[in-house]
Amino acid sequence: MKTTLLTDLTVRDICDGFVYNEFEGKGLFGWGGKLVIQPEYQRNYIYADGKKDVAVINSLLMKYPLGLIYFVKTKDGVYEVLDGQQRITSFGRYVTNKFAIMDNNDIPNYFTSLPSNLQEIILNSKLTIYICEGEESEIKEWYKTINIAGVPLNNQELLNSIYSGPFVNLAREEFSNSRNANVQKWRAYINGDVNRQSFLETALQWVSKGDVEKYMSRHRYENNIDELKYYFYSVIDWISTVFIDVDKSMRGLEWGRLYDTYHGNSYSPNEVSKQVNDLLSDPFVTNNKGIFEYILAGSNDTTLLNIRVFNEASKQKIYNEQTKIAKEKNISNCPLCAVGNNNNKARIWKYAEMEADHVTSWSKGGATTDDNCEMLCKTHNRVKGNK
C-alpha cells in the first residue's frame, strides 16, 4: 500500500462543488468533483446534532487542527473519504449555509452572515490528509485497525465497510433508515440506534443465528435482501401476534432465538397477555425480561423469573429460631433431616451449611416473607428445588 501525505489542501478546495443530500443525510461530493465524501461503506452523517458539527466550525475558527483525514485513491482516479467524512460534511454543510453557529451574543450566524475575515479563516484552513493507494483488501484491513478520531466505528459499521457492496447498500436502505415508517414499531423490541446500524445488526443476527460476518461475506455481492428482510419481518410479526401488549422489558431480548425455539407452538394471545400482566405486577418476580420466555416455554422454569430471595436478616432469624427448638428437642435443625431415619437425624447444621426455602413455593402462591421461610440443609434444599 502506498501513502502520500498532503498538507496544503484547504477547506476551500474540499468545499469546491460540495454536495450534501439532506434526505439521505450524507455529504456526497467535493474537491471539484474528484472526491466521493460518502462511499458506500461509510456510515450516515451523525454530526448534525448542533454540537459536534458546531464544534468542527469552532475548531476551524480557533485555528485548531481537525485531525488526520484519510482518502483512498481508487483505480479510476477518484478519491474516497476513508476517515473524515463527519468532519468534512460538517464544514461543507456550514459553508453551504445548512446550519448556523452562535456568536458571543447568542446570535445565530450562517456562513454568509459571518464577517469576511472569519469566512476566510475557515476557507483557508489547511487539512492534513493521507492518501492511500493499494488493493481493496489491504486498505480495508488497514481501515479496520486505524484508530479513528471522533466517534469510533462500532462493530456493525466496521462489518459494513469490510463487506461493502450491493447487499449492504440494500440492507442499509431498509434497516438503517430512520425515515422507514416501521422503525417505531421495531423499537419496541430492539435496542439501539438506527443510525448506528443497531437494527441492521439485529436483523443480521437473527437470520444468521449469530454468525453475522459469515452471512455478510456469503451474500456480499447479491442484489437482493429478500431472505434477510422476510426473516426479520417473520420474527417481528410473530412477537406482535403472541404478545399483543408492548412493555419496555421486551426491548433487546434474543427474539431471534425465541422465534426459532418457540414459533412452532400455538399460544392464545389473550391468555398470554393476562399472564404477562400478572407477572409484571408480581412483586416477587425480579427479572421482568425473563417473563416472555417463561411463558413461551410453558410457565415451568421459574429460574427465568429470578424470584425474590430471602434477605440475610430473615435467614439468620429463622436459622436461630429453628436451631434453638432443635437443640431443645435433640433433633436436627433441618426439618427434613429431623424426620428421616438417617445419620443426620440429630445433626445441628451451621448457618453456612443451610439455605433458605419457600415452604409454599412461589408458583403455588407462596410469598417471600418470614412466615413462608424455612432453612434446609443444602442437600435437602436442592432435592426439594428440583421437584
In the complex, which residues of this chain contact Zn ion (CB under 5 A)?
334, 336-337, 377, 380
User: In terms of CB distance, is 72 or 336 closer to Zn ion?
Assistant: 336
Nearest Cα residue to 380 out of 336, 342, 333, 319? 336
Instruction: Look at residue 69 and give its three-state secondary structure.
Output: strand
Rounded distance, CA 242 to CA 272, Å?
A: 7
Minimum Å distance from CB 333 to Zn ion? 9
Minimum Å distance from CB 323 to Zn ion? 13
CB atoms within 10 A of CB 7: 8
CB atoms within 10 A of CB 274: 11
Nearest Cα residue to 83 out of 95, 72, 94, 75? 72
User: In terms of CB distance, is 158 or 375 closer to Zn ion?
Assistant: 375
User: In terms of CB distance, is 307 or 337 closer to Zn ion?
Assistant: 337
Minimum Å distance from CB 330 to Zn ion? 16
User: In terms of CB distance, is 87 or 380 closer to Zn ion?
Assistant: 380
User: In terms of CB distance, is 1 or 383 closer to Zn ion?
Assistant: 383
Minimum Å distance from CB 332 to Zn ion? 7
User: In terms of CB distance, is 63 or 378 closer to Zn ion?
Assistant: 378
CB neighbour list of residue 103: distance below 8 Å, 6 or more residues apart: 109
- What is the full DSSP assignment across 85-138? HHHHHHHHHHHTTSS-EE-TTS-EE-GGGS-HHHHHHHHH-B-EEEEEES-HHH
Q: How many CA atoms lie within 13 A of 103 on its CB side?
A: 10
Minimum Å distance from CB 186 to Zn ion? 51
> Cell triple for residue 331?
433433633
CB neighbour list of residue 246: distance below 8 Å, 6 or more residues apart: 188
User: In terms of CB distance, is 250 or 334 closer to Zn ion?
Assistant: 334
User: In terms of CB distance, is 132 or 336 closer to Zn ion?
Assistant: 336
Nearest Cα residue to 347 out of 316, 377, 315? 377
Minimum Å distance from CB 365 to Zn ion? 25
Q: Amino acid identity, residue 63?
A: K
> Cell triple for residue 281?
405486577
Minimum Å distance from CB 344 to Zn ion? 6
Minimum Å distance from CB 307 to Zn ion? 22
